[in-house]
Amino acid sequence: MYDIIVIGAGPAGAAAAKTLAENGCRVLLAEKCRIPRYKSCSGQLIQKSLNLVERYFGEPVPSHTTCSPAENRGMVFTDDTGHTYVFPQPGLNVWRSSFDAWLTKKAAAAGAVVQDALNAVSCTAQDEAVLVRFRRADGSLYDERAEYVIDCEGVAGVIKRQLTGTVPDGITTYQTFHHGRIDLDPHYFYAYLQPELSEYDAWFNVKDGMLVLGVSVKNKEKEPYYYDSFLSYMKKHHGLSVGKPERVDRWLMPRIKPGCAICYGIGRVLFAGEAAGFLNPMGEGISAGLESAYSAAQAVLKHRGDTEGIYSSYREGTAALHDYMKRQWSLVGGMAKTFSEMKQP
């Protein structure tokens, strides 16, 4: 039996597992994919993420996790009228497979047991514990017990769906990687909020010389229409020239609604990162995942055995993060009618 099982070995899961393990807890960090795992993501680490990594993991993000150009200089937003806003700030451009694997190694070095190709399929309350059923890569099932579980699997995970009895309202992301050229500075991440280009947002960035173009939709059937519209826009306005994609990604992220509601957990199963609803505009979930998971772990450490105290501490520890998230969404709400419902009075 473990003290805590952490599900999902992304930045959130690694932060929770390391924090708990280095404080003497017996921790299982379970990941359904093989590590290093691939994650569809822009891989842009903002300054806040860099600061949190150094604080929680004890050293800066290593250069072997980055791709070219390693330096990210900020974000460029185009609102629904075509006006451009530049938000400069230092950051890094990483491959999530390398970055996440490094974080997981740090968690393992702190004492966490890391098991990959281990898919959590259910959680069941048992007196003073939680029974987690896992499916191995060969299809066999086995059970592990723990006092608490921290679910960091994101919107695609099954545990939150099982416990809440709900299917999350998600946004489908679609992005392609190309060789080609474009008349944009590769050191920035570009977001486009025009409603004719996507149902949520469209984006462009560069990774190891590959041009990455993506759109997000509420209705997957509209994906080809918006993707073609975005490519046409980029060709017209930024001189985009690409051939067939070298790689195609699809992913799911939560749709954040007015008020930015957070689901902190149910009983002895806590949710962190996107699983809880922590997500900043344009899908920036790394900083929120790190901070919320660390807060969840700290709450367990401070109030172990007192579930009510854990949730009270968790809410208090993420109050500033929640307020920051609301302000960020309100800012975007003032830029585009697509997000106008997010604007705070």
Q: What is the pLDDT of residues 267-317, one digit of tens each?
A: 999 999 999 999 988 778 999 999 999 999 999 999 999 999 999 999 999
- Residue 121 CA to residue 269 CA, distance in Å, equals 14
Predicted pLDDT at 292? 98
The average pLDDT across 30-51 equals 95
Q: How do the domains of the chain map onto residue ranges?
A: 2-65+93-169+255-342, 170-253
CB neighbour list of residue 183: distance below 8 Å, 6 or more residues apart: 238, 239
Predicted pLDDT at 273? 96
Task: Evaluate the omega torsion of the peptide bond into residue 60 and state whether it is cis, within 30 degrees of 0.
Answer: no
Classify domain 170-253 at the CATH class level.
alpha beta
Predicted pLDDT at 338? 87
Predicted pLDDT at 274? 95
- Residue 207 CA to residue 249 CA, distance in Å, equals 14
CATH number among 1.10.10.10, 3.50.50.60, 3.90.180.10, 3.50.50.100, domain 2-65+93-169+255-342? 3.50.50.60
**Chain-wide mean pLDDT for the chain?**
95
Q: Which residue has the higher pLDDT, 220 or 111?
A: 111
Predicted pLDDT at 284? 87
Predicted pLDDT at 127? 87
CB neighbour list of residue 328: distance below 8 Å, 6 or more residues apart: 280, 281
% the chain with pLDDT above 90? 89
Q: What is the pLDDT of residues 129-178, one digit of tens each?
A: 999 999 999 999 999 999 999 999 998 889 999 999 988 888 999 999 99
Inter-CA distances, 107 with 57, 150, 278, 309, Å: 8, 15, 22, 25
